Structure 1
């Protein structure tokens, strides 16, 4: 006699009810992708210089060397592509940060990545006199990587493993030290402070292919690593003991996740400056739409964050012609009230 009781056959209604939520989530993701494509077209069309849509469409596919073609191909297209990359990187980095630290208010700056990138820029400006974006982008990325490594070494020192709590505390300590160092250097060098102030706001303006191409490989690798963590993160969300029983390795997952966060946030911050709010709020929006399943949270964050960033950049270009408002200011002005409204309407979605 068999000791295993055969499970009753599943009712077609039960199977269909399980498929319906996934179908709705897939449809929502498809709608978000369509919205992102439309925003990309708007970003190429709209700007401080008015170009008719028909002319924009023509020179988009036929670069005739005219002034309009130069604006479209040399300025707006690389700026839009950089907005897509930076947005996707910050959204994924924020989602990883929140699930790895079990902190719903975590953002990519919590592990010292953003402040590390800022320190790299300060060093290049204050000590080496490098004031070009292409010049200090590498220092920003190196600073982000070194700060992340220091945070992990401090968090893993002593007894026990690098738990989320210890990593957060180590990140706060490293951030405080680097902030003090940056302030001291900038106060003694007014010229460096003027240049750093512009970078600190967060902007996509003035960043073209010469900045886009160096950070592209790092962001692509970071996105791939983050998406490969979807199943392990779901197992880890059940608790460390149950996760280990399911074959997950918490310490390994945290290390790989920290590498992905460093690649994503470091490259994005190096290219566009520290753009706040995107990495904090977008994962919450994704969970409000799709629930806590990382199979949906990470893809939604990958799409919703570029929508927020590219949309904010479009708004910044058109609200004060002929000048522009930096995208970091617009994301805060648009996103913070929306985030507050979501928090007041309902509790933050569980991690």
Structure 2
């Protein structure tokens, strides 16, 4: 029955590309509302009661495009939890919002509880090569080589902000390919720290992959102690942790660390911008969001800035109201676009 719904037909009929630009591998959004009755009625034959204590929800539905859990066991927990994978299913931001609207009724009433930020490298370096360069600043223990295969390296526990470097080609069953993925998970257990979905999408995400550095170890000499330790332990993280405090400070002052092989934050933001551009109205909203915030805050003077966008045609107030809602607190000043150049 779900395949007859227009949004599902639109997503499944869309042309797929080999490498889809999207920085999110997984998103979990939650709501203190139950799914719409229309949604419940539509999927009722497929609904079943969970017997998995780990889900903490009475009902769940696993679909190709999403998983949804509802009727929580804990009365303080969100009533509904939805898991989606925008990268895997090649969902545009508007597709993401439309699916949530279909399930809950309004994406404006959802919050982001979990997100997996990711970057990919193709035909460049293996996961083992990346492990020799990867530094995750907030982790206090050496990474774990999963099953000792030299394919997956886990930095930290899944319950926290785990970083993971692994062989994506192996996972996808692609023989002869070099495809390495770096992921960082963010779980927000405190509901007060969970942004609304729109806040999350409009955010510049300067926190993405924060304190993650891909050190340019080719700038070290082969005689340097850090290189000997990398050869001994197999990962930069463990090699670095084996040094004295003074040696660690010297490493962080070294050009290899100060000018890393890749600027992962810049790469992530570029990937995010490409993904947002698939939904022009939301992309526009993201570009001018600082101006909107200033207008909502009642500031009379705005700092001048130029925003360069590809020409798009939309009725600003009507098109953007779908993203910000009808809340009177967000009434827009008449000159809110005065300082934006298209």
On whether the aligned pair clears a TM of 0.5, the verdict is: no
TM-score using structure 1 length: 0.25
Which gives a bigger RCO, structure 1 or 2 (Cα 8 Å, sep 6+)?
Answer: 1
TM-score using structure 2 length: 0.26
Instruction: Answer 1 or 2: which has greater helix percent.
Output: 1
